[in-house]
């Protein structure tokens, strides 16, 4: 896919190979992501979606014996460069995990966590950012009277939206979501999908999902992975209606997966 368009490609990855010890988990992946688009990563379990996603904010660095080759750039600069500051990178490329993982603190302390790391102490600024982020994550109405209650006292779907708010508070450029709704009920999932659609004009979103209808509902682009290879990537509509590859069509039709 090399169609030229106006939208800027914010993340570019080229020839990505990744080994867990001796085992190769990613095979020469070339994939770019455009600003203000939602890209869905789909593929059967174990094909390397999470592995690839974690490369983008270097969360893989925490895994021992991992080897990553290839080129990764964010806004043109190499995120695996020798002087790269991973702490700064993760503020620009944020992540939402499969299991909601709010800290066992109050909602307020969760959402202000990243801001306080950045040294912001002014109460008014913090309050404003909290309200704004919780509103963006479509959870404000449910928590506005309970900001000082533990985030763990909310339902899974609410916790996940609190986690999204916690991330939005630090205003990253890119948001990575690894199956953010797989632990949630349909209504909570729906709310998170709406949230993503609402914020997409300000962010670049990459979402791993096993839910095909979710991918088709919210994403602009879809990338299909299989056994560590990128099989196909393109506009979601086209991909779901007329995929180029037989494997893609088989997967989308539930023949395996």
Partner 1 sequence: MNEIKEKLLKPSKETHQDQIGHLISLVCIGFIGILVVAILFFITTKGLATFTTNHVSVIDFFAKSDWSPSQKGPNGKPEVGALAMIVTSFAVTLLSAILATPFAIAMALFMTEIAPKRGQKILQPVIELLVGIPSVVYGFIGLMVLIPMVRTVFGGTGSGILPATIVLFVMVLPTITSMSVDALKAVPRDYRSAALSLGATRWQMMYKVVLRAATPGILTAMIFGMARAFGEALAVQMVIGNAVLMPTSLTSPTATLTSQLTTQMGNTIMGTLPNNALWTLALVLLVMSLVFNVIVKLIGKRSAFKK
Ligand X SMILES: Nc1ncnc2c1ncn2[C@@H]1O[C@H](COP(=O)(O)OP(=O)(O)OP(=O)(O)O)[C@@H](O)[C@H]1O
Kindly list the residues in this chain that would bind Mg ion in the complex (CB under 5 A): 50
226 lies in the site for partner 1, by CB under 8 A? no
- Identify the three-state secondary structure at position 142: helix
Please choose which of ligand X, Mg ion, partner 1, none residue 91 contacts, taking the beta carbon within 5 to 8 angstroms, the exact cut-off set by kind.
Answer: partner 1
Among 11, 170, 207, 218, binds partner 1 (CB under 8 A): 170
Phi and psi torsions of 159, nearest 5°: -60, -40
Q: Note whether 251 and 43 are within 8 A (CB).
A: yes
Cβ at position 25, least distance to ligand X in Å: 4
Q: Note whether 95 and 59 are within 8 A (CB).
A: yes
Buried b (16+ CB within 10 A) or exposed e, 84-113: eeeeebbbbbbbbbeebebeeebbbbbbbb
Phi and psi torsions of 60, nearest 5°: -65, -20
Among 163, 174, 192, 230, binds partner 1 (CB under 8 A): 163
Pick the closest to residue 14 from 92, 56, 73 (CA basis): 73
Cβ at position 98, least distance to Mg ion in Å: 7
166 lies in the site for partner 1, by CB under 8 A? yes
- Give 176's Cβ-side CA count (13 Å radius): 21
Closer Cβ to Mg ion, 32 or 98, answer by number: 98
d(CA 49, CA 227): 10
Stretch that binds partner 1, among 2-10, 68-76, 165-173, 179-187 (CB under 8 A): 165-173
Closer Cβ to ligand X, 63 or 197, answer by number: 63
Stretch that binds ligand X, among 43-51, 70-78, 80-88, 136-144 (CB under 6 A): 43-51
Among 12, 24, 27, 90, binds partner 1 (CB under 8 A): 90
Closer Cβ to ligand X, 53 or 143, answer by number: 53
48 lies in the site for ligand X, by CB under 6 A? yes
d(CA 213, CA 224): 14
Stretch that binds ligand X, among 47-55, 105-113, 131-139, 154-162 (CB under 6 A): 47-55
Q: Nearest-5° angle of CA 214, CA 232, CA 235?
A: 55
Closer Cβ to Mg ion, 43 or 114, answer by number: 43
d(CA 248, CA 244): 7
Residues in contact with partner 1 by the rule CB under 8 A: 57, 59, 62, 87-88, 90-91, 94-95, 97, 99, 101-105, 113-114, 116-118, 150, 152-153, 163, 166-167, 170
């Amino acid at each position: 896919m090399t169609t030229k368009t106006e939208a800027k490609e914010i993340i570019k990855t080229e020839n990505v190979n990744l080994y867990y010890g001796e085992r190769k988990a990613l095979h020469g992946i070339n994939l770019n992501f455009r600003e203000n688009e939602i890209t869905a990563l789909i593929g059967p379990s174990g094909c390397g979606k999470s592995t690839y996603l974690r490369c983008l904010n270097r969360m893989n660095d925490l895994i021992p014996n991992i080897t990553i080759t290839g080129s990764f750039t964010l806004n043109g600069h190499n995120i695996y460069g020798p002087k790269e500051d991973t702490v700064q990178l993760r503020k620009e490329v944020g992540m939402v995990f499969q299991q909601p993982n709010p800290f066992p603190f109050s909602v307020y302390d969760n959402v202000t966590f990243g801001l306080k790391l950045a040294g912001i102490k002014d109460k008014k600024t913090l309050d404003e950012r909290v309200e704004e982020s919780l509103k963006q994550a479509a959870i404000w109405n449910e928590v506005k009277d309970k900001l000082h209650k533990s985030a763990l006292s909310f339902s899974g779907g609410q916790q996940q939206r609190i986690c999204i708010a916690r991330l939005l508070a630090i205003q990253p450029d890119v948001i990575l979501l690894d199956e953010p709704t797989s632990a949630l009920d349909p209504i909570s999932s729906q709310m998170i999908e709406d949230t993503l659609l609402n914020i997409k004009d300000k962010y670049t979103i990459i979402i791993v999902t096993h839910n095909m209808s979710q991918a088709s509902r919210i994403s602009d682009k879809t990338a299909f992975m299989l056994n560590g290879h990128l099989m196909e990537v393109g506009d979601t509509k086209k991909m779901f209606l007329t995929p180029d590859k037989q494997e893609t069509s088989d997967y989308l039709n539930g023949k395996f997966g």
